[in-house]
Amino acid sequence: MTLQEYDYARESPSKLAASCLLLALTMKNLGGWTPTLEYYSGYSAQDLHPLVKRLNFLLTYQPRDKLNAVRSKYSHRVFFEVAKATPMDMLKLEETLTSS
């Protein structure tokens, strides 16, 4: 989704990927940002928090009339139906990020 949003073009691909991973871990309640992830990514959880919040906002307020082919593709079980994932409540995300 970020490929079609100009605001994300200035983010480094590694930071964007790390933020997406942290958001996915948080959404699925699979734990937080571990020292191993920090070491190999080069980013601390605090470095990623602003971008994680922006990504969740993008998921929450995405226009439904765009990217139908992408949404259809990633709604298939082969891709674990990630397009059907419910974004986190912004307040809950904030609480989760600050508590870790």
> Would 1 be classed as within a structural domain?
no
Predicted pLDDT of residue 72: 86
31 within some domain: yes
Residue 27 falls within a domain, yes or no?
yes
Compute mean pLDDT per 10 residues along the chain, 100 residues long, and list them.
86 97 93 94 96 93 74 87 86 88
Domain assignment of residue 59, given as a range: 10-99
In a domain, 15, yes or no: yes
Asked if residue 4 is part of any domain, the answer here is: no
pLDDT tens column, 65-85 = 666 888 788 889 998 888 888
Which CATH number fits the domain that encloses residue 37?
1.10.472.10
∠ CA 5-21-97, nearest 5°, is: 95
The answer to whether 25 and 32 have CB atoms below 8 angstroms apart is yes
Beta strands, E only, 2-96: none
Does any domain span residue 75?
yes
Predicted TM-score (pTM) of this structure: 0.84
